[in-house]
Chains A and B, each alone.
Chain A
Amino acid sequence: MSNATKKTATEARAELKTVKQTPGASKPDAILVVDNVVRDFGGNRAVDVDHLEVQRGVITALIGPNGAGKTTFFNLITGFDQPSSAKKMFGGPSADKAAKWSFNGKLLGNTAAASVAKSGMVRTFQLTKALSRLTVMQNMLLGAKDQRGESFLAAFVKPLWAAQEKANIAKAEDLLKRFKLYEKKEDLAGSLSGGQKKLLEMARALMSDPVMIMLDEPMAGVNPALTQSLLGHIQSLRDEGTTVLFVEHDMHMVRHISDWVVVMAEGRVVAEGPADTVMSDQAVIDAYLGAHHDTDLGDDALLEEGAMDAPKKEKK
């Protein structure tokens, strides 16, 4: 079985080779298709994505400098925020301009966060949300889907949910072993270190067997050794058939593991393509380093009026 899924992961990656490297390029097997998602905060347009597709079965990295709108975009598609361009009962944008996104062939506009997660798109948070006063194991069990014991009346009668609970515990133990948290399973989640909380959050998200996992800066604040193992986990997720979309602002982190990179700047998708080529894209370099990144800021000559434009002229 693992051979078969590995093949599809490789196939999915192979398919990407044929994709045009332009913002909003269409993918051969898109799992997530986003159209016209706009989010304004007052006069500030934080997110303005016309069209974006995410290929199934690969690791897509969403990168961009601080304030590019990556997390806001995440919140919008996972139902934690509503786009300003959403369809409204009165007024609002016309049907073809309204925000619209589909996941796994299912339209998701105006869907509550819980329903988004139920449909198989599970996210983690930039600031980890471990449930501090629950044990690590309880945190894990919360992630399991369709629990009978979560309905109010069934909760009173243990035999109705005991078997399912047992299976979930076994699954959680497997995942905890994989993420090296097994020894901590009876500790309160609040007592874990920051990096361990990141691992726990990821493991918890995996309890629901997501079709697509959305990781919001999984590497932020994690030491290099743990980063390496996190990257390993993300890769093995892909090899098992899960689609991964993750946000990161450190370009070098994503270089090794991502199959496709989408670059956002000032709310827009400015470039996309495989990691090695996209990083030499002029738009990306401008976004990250500014258009004058070649200029030596220690040069006294720059203090003079018009000096910033001078180097360009010289080059010409």
Chain B
Amino acid sequence: MDMWIKVLYDMSANMILPTTAAFAIAAIGLNVHFGFTGLLNMGQAGFMLIGAYGFSVATIAGLPFWAATLVTIAAGTIFALLLGIPTLKLRGDYLAIVTIAAAEIVRMIGRASVLNSVTGGSNGLPGETYRNTFSALSPFPDGKTAFLWFDFDNTGVNGWFIRIVAWSLVVIFAVLVWLLMRSPWGRVIKGIREDEDAVRSLGKNVFAFKMQALIIGGVLGAIGGMFYVLPTSVQPDALGRNMTFLIWTAMLLGGAATIWGPVLGSALFFALRIFIQGTVDILIPDAILNTQQTEQFSWIMVGVALMLLVIFRPQGILGDKKELNFNV
């Protein structure tokens, strides 16, 4: 019985992790790209990594927190511009190819040994070298606080402060996306998803709108990356292709083109994985699958889940089935 309670605790704890919030922010960004604008961005992890490097390198260079945040946003913007200028005039598939390649380029450059002194090469940058400017902003006193069945430090590496900030940002960004999507701007964006040429024939500068959407989603990705590494460390390989596909899974699980889909999807995604891992761990004896193997098994199930999802419930949990019926 205790084992089951531990699984439930782990599930709930994983749902509110700051990294889950960071993941949700990146998923909101991807949703702006894919769900609303129809841009196939297969390199959202690249945007995250750019943001992570932007914040950590700027902080280590001595910039204060807000300046480093601006560097993060600027890095995401510039990366989006660089990707968008050559590809947004072409058909959607090209953007997918270019983004996946660009994300890999960022990761390879990040782990290149030539840049050891800046990015830490493949070892990355340890969290304590850039975390302090953020922790210093905490208004909470030292010590621990218990809330429900959670008991964390107030400010520490993985405490309440970063959880509250990260999840508040998730809500703020979701509301901002909602504000955008109910406006005429959002209408043009959705029109572009349906048919670019039709929107062009109505006198809208499609390229400019797509670029704006790419930048917004990219900046959200960069901010997601920044919050992903704040409680951990900058590891170029942790923000590789895997990450991109996990974000895609979370977004599709919650429902693309919905406001809260990516948020719900991210929280559920981590909880479900822990659930699979915990259940398998309890039910299947170690002789068949040991603890390390159950974790690998749970990641395999994520891949299976993505396939099942796309086949049987392409609109996700919150999506509207009706909107897919006419998707030719």
A178 within 8 A of B: no
Shortest C-beta distance, B201 to chain A (Å), equals: 5
Q: How far is the CA of A204 from the CA of B190 in the complex (A)?
A: 16
Q: How far is the CA of A115 from the CA of B208 in the complex (A)?
A: 13
Shortest C-beta distance, A68 to chain B (Å), equals: 22
The answer to whether B180 touches A131, judged by C-beta atoms less than 8 angstroms apart, is no
Given A133-B190, A133-B327, A188-B323, answer yes or no on A158-B183 (Cβ-Cβ < 8 Å).
yes
B-contacting 9-mer, from A33-41, A134-142, A275-283 = A134-142
The answer to whether A155 touches B205, judged by C-beta atoms less than 8 angstroms apart, is no
A-contacting 9-mer, from B9-17, B72-80, B192-200, B265-273 = B192-200
Given A113-B200, A114-B204, answer yes or no on A131-B185 (Cβ-Cβ < 8 Å).
no
B176 within 8 A of A: yes
> B180, B186, B323: which contacts A133 (Cβ < 8 A)?
B323
Given A131-B194, A152-B212, A188-B323, answer yes or no on A208-B203 (Cβ-Cβ < 8 Å).
yes
Among A112, A114, A122, A149, chain B packs the most CB atoms within 10 A around the CB of A114
The answer to whether B179 touches A122, judged by C-beta atoms less than 8 angstroms apart, is no
Shortest C-beta distance, B213 to chain A (Å), equals: 9
Q: How far is the CA of A207 from the CA of B197 in the complex (A)?
A: 17
The answer to whether A143 touches B185, judged by C-beta atoms less than 8 angstroms apart, is no
Q: Cβ of B325: which chain A residues have Cβ within 8 Å of it?
A: 190
Given A133-B327, A155-B186, A156-B176, answer yes or no on A113-B212 (Cβ-Cβ < 8 Å).
no
The answer to whether B328 touches A123, judged by C-beta atoms less than 8 angstroms apart, is no
B288 within 8 A of A: no
Q: Cβ of A141: which chain B residues have Cβ within 8 Å of it?
A: 184, 187
A161 within 8 A of B: yes
CB neighbors of A among B166-216 (8 A): 176, 179-180, 183-188, 190-191, 193-195, 197-206, 212
Closest A residue to B325 by beta carbon equals: A190
Given A114-B206, A122-B201, answer yes or no on A161-B184 (Cβ-Cβ < 8 Å).
yes
Given A112-B205, A145-B203, A208-B203, answer yes or no on A134-B187 (Cβ-Cβ < 8 Å).
yes
Q: Which residues of B contact A (CB under 8 A)?
A: 176, 179-180, 183-188, 190-191, 193-195, 197-206, 212, 322-323, 325-328
Q: Which residues of A contact B (CB under 8 A)?
A: 78, 80, 112-115, 117-118, 122-125, 129-134, 138-139, 141-143, 145, 147-152, 154-156, 158, 161, 165, 188, 190-191, 201, 204-205, 207-208
Jot down 26 A-B pairs with beta carbons below 8 A, ordered by A: A80-B197, A114-B200, A114-B205, A115-B203, A117-B203, A118-B203, A129-B197, A129-B198, A132-B327, A133-B194, A133-B327, A134-B190, A138-B191, A139-B191, A141-B187, A142-B191, A142-B204, A147-B184, A150-B183, A150-B184, A150-B185, A155-B185, A156-B183, A188-B323, A188-B326, A207-B202
Closest 6 CB pairs of A and B: A190-B326, A149-B184, A117-B203, A129-B198, A155-B185, A155-B183
Instruction: Beyond A133-B193, A155-B180, list 19 extra A-B contacts (CB 8 Å).
Output: A80-B200, A113-B200, A122-B203, A123-B201, A131-B195, A132-B194, A132-B327, A133-B326, A133-B327, A134-B190, A139-B191, A150-B184, A150-B204, A156-B180, A158-B183, A188-B323, A204-B202, A205-B202, A207-B202
